[in-house]
Every structure is written in C-alpha cells, then in structure tokens.
A and B are shown apart, each in its own frame.
Chain A
C-alpha cells in the first residue's frame, strides 16, 4: 500500500482548529490543577513525613547487611523485565546475574520494595514493587529523585510503572551520566509520590558493575559533505549489553545536528538491538567545530561473533527560515538543503491570511512524512520578534490549516487564523514574516558502515 496515498486519504479529515486548540488547553489546565506540586521545577517544600524504613536482607554468611546474594531462581524478576520489554534484564536474569534485594520502605500506607538491580555497560536498572496503592489505570505514576536530583541523572533516565496481575511493578533505567564507569556505585533513590500519595521512600542501593571487557578502537567515519566526523574510541562489552563510546565532531552550522547509530549487526548479519543512541556528555566549541562526547548502548553481542558492523547516520537540523510578507510573492530556501518554498499568492481578510505556495527540490522519494504537516507547522511572526524562543502572545500565529491544491506539484494553500484567542492583535503585512520549518525537509544521511573486530 502506498503510504503517501493512504496519508492523503486520512488527511482529508478536516481539523476543527479552534475547537482543537480549546480541547488541548482544557487538557493541560485540568492536568495542571492535579499535578502542580510534582511538576514544579524548583521544589522548596520538604515533606515532614515520618517514614519507617525497614531493610530486610537475605544474607548467607555475609557480614555487611548491604550485601545481598544473587538468587538462583528469580521468576518474579524475569516477569518484571518481560513486562517492561527489557531484553537485557531478561538475559541477565536467565544467567542469574541480577542482584536480588529486598529493601522495603513504607510511607503513608504505601509500601515500596526494591527487589532487583543490575549494572551492566553503563546502564543501571532498578526494579521495585509497590503495595497498598489505590489504582486508577494499568499504569501508575511516581516521582523520584535519583542521586542528588541533578539534571545529568534525569536526562538519561527512563521510568516505567505497570499494574500487572502479579502486582504493581516499577523499573527505573539509568544511563550512567559520566563517561568513566566506576565499578561500584551507591545510588540514593528517594521516591516522593506514588499516584496521589505523597511521602518519602528512601533507599541507598549499593550497585556493582558486572564484569566487562574493554576494546580500544581507533576508527573514524566522515559524511561526504564533511559536516560530521565520528571518531570511535572504545567498546565495553558487558554481560548482557555493550557500550560504544565515540566523539562526534559537528560543523558550526550543524551545531544542533544529531549523529546517531541506526543499526548494528554481527558477523552473520543478525541485528543487535540499539538500546540507546546519542547519550551526550556535553557539546563544546573547539575552533571551527562542535565536539561532542557521545555514547550508544547496544544489546548482547553473540559470544562467538568475530566482528560487528555499525551503521551510523546523521539527522541534519536548521532553525526556522523566515521571510517578510511585504511582497505578494517571494521564495524561501533551506539554508542546508535544496528545498525551496515559493509563495505564489497572499490574500488577507480580517480573519484569515491565505498563503498559496509551492514546495520544490524536495526529496519526495525518501521523505515519507506528510508534506501537509510542513505547512501546518509554519508560523506567522512579528518580524521584530523573529529568533525569540517565545514570541509575545498576540504577536504570532503558530500553525495553519492546509488545503492541498495539487499533490503532484506540491502546491498547497495555508490558512492562518488571525482572529480569536490564538490570533494576532494588530496584524499587518509590513510588520510580519512567514516562518518555515525546513528542518523537516532535510534528509537523514547515512554514513559509511564501520566494522569493529572483536577477536
């Protein structure tokens, strides 16, 4: 089936823009009323809740109560990993490499038991069960502070909470935020809310990294246009996953581009899962380029693989391109690609601005997205506010309603609503510009694949 034609059919559904904006507004304000405390950026309140922390440990001759042993049989842990589609956890559980804990904390009637931990190739997983929580759906929400709560920990964290017939399971996956991986980590976790129940459930989890092997790599790939170079530095092979570290060097114009790894295969051509690609440790300008230390984490490499192949790609980006509306027809051009937008006609009424335009030099073969969407994201902005992250309310219109005039010739008509709550207070063609998201039309470019020998 042709996706473009399918999309054309679906896109015939008319979108009632004003009603839709209203529905979105209502949804947000309803949620804000319910979760004001949890979503505040700065939290000043320290809940004074008496929490009783009970740690039960299953020692078997170990002296330290912090230590716990690896259980021979971890069916519940296996179930938890499978409910979160965590193949690494499932493999490690099957190989008895998951450390089972039984650390429990209770606050305001809700109990939390941290029951499983692994730390492999730069990724930490903590699983826990929650009891005595009143449930509203198949998922449950929670708020947790990882370590000191700084952004570097939150950036690479993934949170899951699922209600299953076996209980409420939670998993936090954390990509270790620093480039060097310590062997031992004590991870403080403080939960502060489960659904509507606020409280304090505090854990200090001792974590030991599973054995790994580090291979140093000195290989580079570069895009044809020299806009990106990737210097591969090392591969750390853990028990259930592996970490690939590299330096991406972007051009100044491509400061927001993203180097990513698309696919990894073993010597037999079998795919190895890419678990995360593009964890960044900070971009910095060095001379005329932007250097970025980056990391990707992949699944288990088969034991007997002689080599693996890495397929990187780059997603180019550019900021909105703008053009004043003072003429009735003009052309706009992507700064980084060939795409052009030719404005054929502009008609203004009190309530609407109608812009007829044609897209050209667009790679329709490789871009599968809906070209209407490009127009729907165009903006009208007060020329004096171009470049601002957040233009003043009443000085811009974000988004338009698109009518396809000729899908083969990529001719469209955009209708910007000038009046109403989301309109412009005092619109005039002389003072306003059209902004177009050419980023969307930039192709993803593949880089040459790279072979890394493992033996």
Chain B
C-alpha cells in the first residue's frame, strides 16, 4: 500500500497503518538519531519519543506526502532536546560497531588523519549538522529544508556552504577522499 494511503488511514485512527508507516522509515530514523546522540540507548530513546509524539500529533500533519519529512523533523527536535537538556554528554568518540579497531579512540588521540565522516559531522554546529543530514541523507531540497527549519532558503544555502567547508577541513588528509574531491562541487 502506498505511503499516502497509509497516512490517510493512520489519520483516521488506523493504528496498524501508523505502525506500518513507522516501520517503513525505522532504520533511517534510528540512524539519524544515532548521528546526533552517538550511542544506541539514547538513539532508541529518541526514536521512541518521536513515535510517541508523531502518534499524538498526526492530525497536524499538513500534507500526507510530507509524512517522512515531518517525522524526521520531530526526531531532530527530540534529539536536540535530549542534547540540550544535558541528559547526556556528547563524547566525541565513535562507538558504532563499524570501527575496525577494537581500541578505544577519543578526540585527543585521534588525529585528523583518520577522523571519519561521523565524527566530523559530530563536530559541526547544530544547524550545520541538520542541513547536512537533511540534504545528503534524507535527500531534501534546499526549499524543503528551509520550510523544515523555518529559516529563509538563503540561510540554508549559507549553512550548507559552511558545513561543507568545515567538513572538508575536518576530513582533509583523511582516507575519505571522495568527500574532498566532490565536496565543493555542488
């Protein structure tokens, strides 16, 4: 069943349809939360809170075709809320399981030579993080991001430009050459 039909069903109170909608986007939700909070427990909390709030405010979704964007917006708000309220301290440390090394790494002994994209995104200002994630991972247009963040399109472009510049600087000399090679292309 297509997503718009599911949203319409969910808005009428069909809980199974709502659940199906969430499962459609569950991995992107989790991964986006993880980028912000950098650990499994908090990322799961952020997803849980997002599902809870989305269920309660589904009536306010303006247009069914923007369900995913609306959901991500709630998620980012929750992730920021969690970080803001100081429930957790961000460790500039990549704890995800894709590290090849078992040795713990942290900011002080991690040289810029092997810093990776995740850690680099972590070091960006909050607004820059959000535009980068929405633009590259959620594939939103500048216009959609502007509506989402409630800022003018020009501001989004500025954020994107600065965020790319910061990432480039952070990743200079890293093995992730594809970022350096194509970062300033668009």
Contacts and interface: CB of A to CB of B under 8 A. Distances in A.
Given A35-B56, A439-B2, A398 B48 contact: no
Interface string A434-455: 0000010000000000000000
Nearest to B11: A154
Given A32-B55, A158-B62, A377-B24, A10 B2 contact: no
Contacts of A85: 147, 150
Interface string A23-54: 11011101110110011110000000000000
Given A27-B48, A373-B28, A256 B2 contact: yes
Given A5-B178, A141-B57, A27 B47 contact: yes
B13 A41 contact: yes
Interface in A316-331: 317
Nearest to A30: B52
A111 interface: no
Interface in B1-56: 1-2, 4, 8, 11-16, 18-20, 22-24, 26-28, 30-31, 34-35, 40, 44-45, 47-53, 55-56
Contacts of A9: 116-118, 176
B48 A141 contact: no
A11 B28 CA distance: 9
Interface stretch (A14-22, A118-126, A239-247): A14-22
Interface in B42-98: 44-45, 47-53, 55-57, 59-63, 96-98
Given A6-B117, A11-B31, A31-B56, A20 B19 contact: no
Contacts of B61: 158-159
B47 A20 contact: yes
A15 B23 contact: no
Given A10-B31, A13-B98, A398-B23, A27 B59 contact: no
B28 A28 contact: no
A19 B23 contact: no
Contacts of A38: 59
A222 interface: no
B182 interface: yes
A407 B46 CA distance: 30
Nearest to A27: B51
Contacts of B51: 23-24, 27-28, 31
Contacts of B118: 9-10, 13
A7 B48 CA distance: 23
A1 B186 contact: yes
A139 B60 contact: yes
A376 B116 CA distance: 25
A215 B50 CA distance: 46
A141 B61 CA distance: 11
A160 B52 CA distance: 18
B59 A159 contact: yes
Given A27-B50, A141-B60, A160-B62, A3 B27 contact: no
Contacts of B18: 28
A151 B12 CA distance: 9
A354 B66 CA distance: 34
Contacts of B35: 10, 13
A349 interface: no
B151 to A, nearest CB: 11
B108 to A, nearest CB: 23
A377 B22 CA distance: 12
Interface in B145-186: 147, 150, 164, 176, 178-179, 182-183, 185-186
B23 A399 contact: yes
A288 interface: no
Given A11-B31, A27-B52, A256-B2, A160 B60 contact: yes
30 contacts: A3-B139, A6-B117, A6-B137, A10-B31, A10-B117, A10-B118, A13-B35, A13-B98, A15-B27, A20-B30, A24-B22, A24-B23, A24-B47, A28-B15, A28-B22, A31-B52, A32-B55, A38-B59, A41-B14, A141-B56, A143-B59, A159-B59, A159-B61, A173-B62, A258-B4, A276-B63, A317-B2, A369-B139, A398-B20, A398-B23
Interface of A: 1-3, 5-7, 9-16, 19-21, 23-24, 26-28, 30-32, 34-35, 38-41, 85, 139, 141-143, 151, 154-155, 158-161, 173, 256, 258, 276, 317, 368-370, 372-373, 376-377, 389-390, 398-399, 439
Given A256-B2, A258-B4, 16 more contacts: A1-B182, A5-B178, A9-B116, A10-B117, A13-B34, A14-B98, A15-B26, A16-B30, A19-B40, A24-B19, A24-B26, A32-B15, A39-B13, A158-B62, A173-B62, A390-B16
